[in-house]
Amino acid sequence: MGFNVAIDGPAGAGKSTIAKLVAKETGFIYVDTGAMYRALAVHFINEGLDGEDVSAIEEACKRASVSIRYEDGVQKVLLNGEDVSTLIRQENVGNMASKSSTVPKVREKLLELQRNLAAQEDVIMDGRDIGTNILPKAEVKIYLTASVSTRAKRRFDELTEKGVQCNYDDICHDIEDRDYRDMNRETAPLKQAEDAILIDSSDMTISEVVSKIMTYIEKKR
């Protein structure tokens, strides 16, 4: 029986960064559910689909296979056997993932894989509905958030460092739109689980957030 840590929160809250560091500290397997949804989003984009076309997305799911593997401790996300780890971080892919993840068939496709892994291994999983839906019995649940301005600044700095031209106001608007979609979607909306610990990282360093989460894990182990 695995020990499970669930980290939920809105886009840009730093869930993946924090989850990877906590996984390294604990030796747990890190399962990036967002990366899995983004991999499917790459598939939908490659097929030229509209994120609002539910029937086309459901049909396209049948032609997609997503898996995660580790090479020298580095996560690789595979779409139909091809490494798409770099592609999934593009902005248009994130937007498609936010839209397509509301489609029940998309969630069903990945849910069984995620739960089976968590049942067998010690895992840390991050996403939008881990503690409320995917791993409702997780030993530790964290709801990680930050202000819209903080999340937008982080994303702006990240893109700028990569040499990508971007606009701070546009990023703010995009984050607000994604928050609304994620929190108001019909299937498994983003919300804080009743037994989740709220951590607002707006004025915290990465190491401070990791340390705080480690304290909760050590209490439960």
Q: Tens digit of pLDDT for each residue in 139-181?
A: 999 999 999 999 999 999 999 999 999 999 999 999 999 999 9
Q: Quick one: pLDDT at residue 109?
A: 87
pTM of the model as a whole: 0.75
Count of CB atoms situated within 10 Å of the CB of 204: 16
Residue with tokens 């892919």: 93
Beta bridge partners of 67: 78
**Beta-strand pair 74-79/82-83:** antiparallel
Give CA–CA dist 4/139, Å, rounded. 6
Helices marked H in the chain: 15-26, 33-46, 54-61, 91-100, 104-120, 148-161, 168-184, 206-220
Which structure tokens are listed for 175? 């984050």
Which backbone phi and psi does 106 adopt, to 5 degrees?
Answer: -65, -45
Q: What is the pLDDT of residues 24-37, one digit of tens each?
A: 999 898 987 888 89
Phi, psi of 29 (to 5 degrees): -85, 130
pLDDT in tens, 18-70: 999 999 999 898 987 888 899 999 999 999 998 889 999 999 999 998 877 77
